[in-house]
């Protein structure tokens, strides 16, 4: 039997037995980390990262980093330090 919306909302107020693998970081699903559980319990909706803009960013990030390194003569190897976002055309 599926839970009602009201029951699902009530479950946000406490940690359930099915939440314990997430709490301990041993859940087999990649989007079930302790942080994901916290977001869920707080009702925080994360941005959809499966659309064309994030995919384009993932594709172009290595190129953007290499261009930055050429311009700045930098040997940085930490891509997280140089976020690059772009949008092409009317997509």
**According to the model, what pLDDT value does residue 72 have?**
74
**pLDDT tops 50 at residue 21:** yes
Contacts of 27 (CB under 8 A, 6+ apart): 21, 33
CA 7/CA 65 separation, integer angstroms: 47
**According to the model, what pLDDT value does residue 74 have?**
53
Closest to 16 in 3D by CA, of 27, 29, 28:
27
pTM: 0.47
Across the chain, how many H-helices and E-strands are there? 4, 0
Q: Encode pLDDT of 23-55 as tens digits.
A: 888 888 777 888 888 888 888 887 777 778 778
CA 12/CA 1 separation, integer angstroms: 19
- Residue spans of the domains in the chain: they are 10-42, 52-78
């Amino acid at each position: 039997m599926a839970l009602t919306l009201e029951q699902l909302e009530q479950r946000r107020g406490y940690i359930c037995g099915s939440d314990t693998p997430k709490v301990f970081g041993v859940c087999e699903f990649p989007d079930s980390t302790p942080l994901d559980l916290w977001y869920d319990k707080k009702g925080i909706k994360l941005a959809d990262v499966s659309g064309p803009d994030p995919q384009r960013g993932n594709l172009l990030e290595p190129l953007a980093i290499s261009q930055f390194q050429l311009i700045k003569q930098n040997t940085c190897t930490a891509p997280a330090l140089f976020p690059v976002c772009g949008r092409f055309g009317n997509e």
